[in-house]
Amino acid sequence: MEKYYKILVIFLISLLSLPALQYTSRLFPEKPLQGVTIEEAVPALSFASYYNFEFQMGLMKYIDQNFGFRPFFIRLFNQLQYSLFNIPHGHGVVIGKDNYLYEDWYIRDYLGDYFIGKDSIRKNVEKLELIQNYLHRHNTELLVILAPGKAYYYPEYIPDGYKKLKTPSNYSVYRSALDTSTIPTFDANGWFMQLKNERKEPLFTQTGTHWSEFGAKLVADSLLRLTAKVLNRPINTITITGAEWTTKLRSSDDDLAQLMNIFTTINRMEVPYAQFKRDTIVNDSTEKPSVIVISDSFFWNLYDGMLDHSFRDIEYWYYYSSIFPQSFRKKTFVSDIDLADRIEKTDLIVLMTSTAGLNKMGFGFIEEVFPIARNEQDILLDSLTHVFHALILDNTKELETIRMKAIRRNLPLDSMILLDARYLAGIKLKHIHDSLRLQTQEN
């Protein structure tokens, strides 16, 4: 009996020692957890950090996140929770009907929980129009893309536990407001909902939160052709020539399942991966346009070399914060650059937001650029006002008309002259902007 007791103790000690052995030797390869940030270095020890307990807390956190077989044990726990109780582990992951995965905020946005109000959206579109005018004066175009949301594409798989649909939504109001504006807009969300009934290829996968890799290729195709129209210049495009169908998901098509960190495969859907060719229309790289894309994570699977053939320079301002490709080498932020200089020297600004991000359209771009645009417009308006003020003073007939108007309104003559000059300056400024748009269209 004592012999078996010793064997059991040795076995338990050996079992308990395995994590320490794995930590020191990394004898067994481990697949890293997805969507998890860990402390990668032991905290530095100093008298101050030890005295105020920072070192001890940091060391405990480091050990907790780096002990041997941690990814295995977490995946085991997550697998049991999923298999036995249908509980997902992964930030915001929701298991819908037939095991379709969503992120919670995309469902809540679809249901109208994040609606910011018609007035706020109207004001944002008005600001964008002023920004568009500002960019036009510097030969830069603006394009807005309403990227799709999975809840709009697959509402039938949303769990029953969510409350009923509200109306309106940020998407529906933005779409309406942009439709009546002068801003070129690519409504990819509405387009995807239309294509759902027209194409056999799924444009969202069962276990992904972004548009599928195939859907991204469709968007790239349409985006390049629309860019050529917006810029009124030739641009290299792509043409989808076929598709390879498989149940083995690639890239972001399985991103929500990866976030769950489990052993089993959830996806049962066969999905296509596009085969395409690049159409060369412009050979000289100096003739290719430059573009800045301000977007959430939906631009990642377009930013894979597919567009390099069409643009001489592509900057991806991720959530209007980090700038890529610069940040691949050294972290570079929008706050580090001369914003006005950068956008004024770019051919195209693309503002792309998925449905769940429309409550923060532009992620700060509108709020920061609008004062620059308004200030430049005010300077131009003041300059034109001075011109019309002088013209009025030199025109005896016009001056007499304004004098009579001032009497009727009980205003000083100088004030009435300034009001009329300002009014004429506003008309002239609008005419300038309209002419720039018409010239762009005709070219």
Tens-place pLDDT, residues 1-17: 666 676 767 667 766 66
- Residues 65, 137, single domain; the answer is no
Total structural domains in the chain?
Answer: 3
Token pair in block for residue 121: 């959206």
- Residues 60, 98, single domain; the answer is no
**Interior angle at CA 441, CA 438 and CA 443, nearest 5:** 105
- Residues 359, 381, single domain; the answer is no
Establish if 60 belongs to a structural domain.
yes
What is the model's pLDDT at position 70?
79
What is the model's pLDDT at position 227?
95
- Residues 309, 358, single domain; the answer is yes
- Residues 354, 399, single domain; the answer is no
Identify the CA nearest to 217 among candidates 238, 186, 246.
238
DSSP at 165: P
Identify the CA nearest to 170 among candidates 424, 372, 355.
355
Residue finishing a domain among 352, 367, 382? 367
Question: What percentage of the chain carries pLDDT values higher than 70?
Answer: 88
Establish if 77 belongs to a structural domain.
no
Establish if 413 belongs to a structural domain.
yes
pLDDT tops 80 at residue 63: no
* CB atoms closer than 10 angstroms to residue 429: 17
What is the model's pLDDT at position 41?
72
Residue finishing a domain among 338, 367, 396? 367
- Residues 225, 348, single domain; the answer is yes
Structural domain of residue 421, as residue ranges? 374-442
Of 70-79, 103-112, 126-135, 322-331, least confident by mean pLDDT is: 70-79
pLDDT tops 60 at residue 248: yes
What is the model's pLDDT at position 20?
64
At 209-222, the pLDDT tens digits run 999 999 999 999 99
For residue 115, how many C-alpha atoms fall within 13 Å in the half-sphere facing its CB? 15
Residue finishing a domain among 71, 86, 112? 71
Estimate to the nearest angstrom the gap between the alpha carbon of 107 and the chain centroid: 17
Question: Residue 430 — pLDDT band, cuts 50, 70, 90?
Answer: confident
- Residues 199, 143, single domain; the answer is yes
Q: What backbone torsions phi and psi does residue 337 show, to the nearest 5 degrees?
A: -110, 165
- Residues 220, 248, single domain; the answer is yes
Task: Output the CA–CA distances (angstroms, integers) from residue 4 to 8, 14, 15, 16, in the order listed.
Answer: 6, 15, 16, 18
Question: Residue 417 — pLDDT band, cuts 50, 70, 90?
Answer: confident
Question: Residue 189 — pLDDT band, cuts 50, 70, 90?
Answer: very high
The SS3 assignment for 68 reads coil
- Region 60-86: mean pLDDT is 82
- Region 57-78: mean pLDDT is 77
- Residues 27, 123, single domain; the answer is no
Overall pTM > 0.85: no
- Residues 213, 240, single domain; the answer is yes
Token pair in block for residue 407: 């009497």
With beta carbons less than 8 A apart as the criterion, state whether 247 and 267 touch: yes
- What is the pLDDT of the chain when averaged over all its residues? 87
What is the model's pLDDT at position 443?
44
At 16-45, the pLDDT tens digits run 666 666 666 676 677 878 876 666 677 777
At 353-388, the pLDDT tens digits run 999 999 999 999 999 999 999 988 878 777 777 777
Residue ranges in 147-254 assigned as alpha helix (H): 150-153, 170-179, 188-196, 213-231
Establish if 437 belongs to a structural domain.
yes
- Residues 128, 264, single domain; the answer is yes
- Residues 111, 258, single domain; the answer is yes
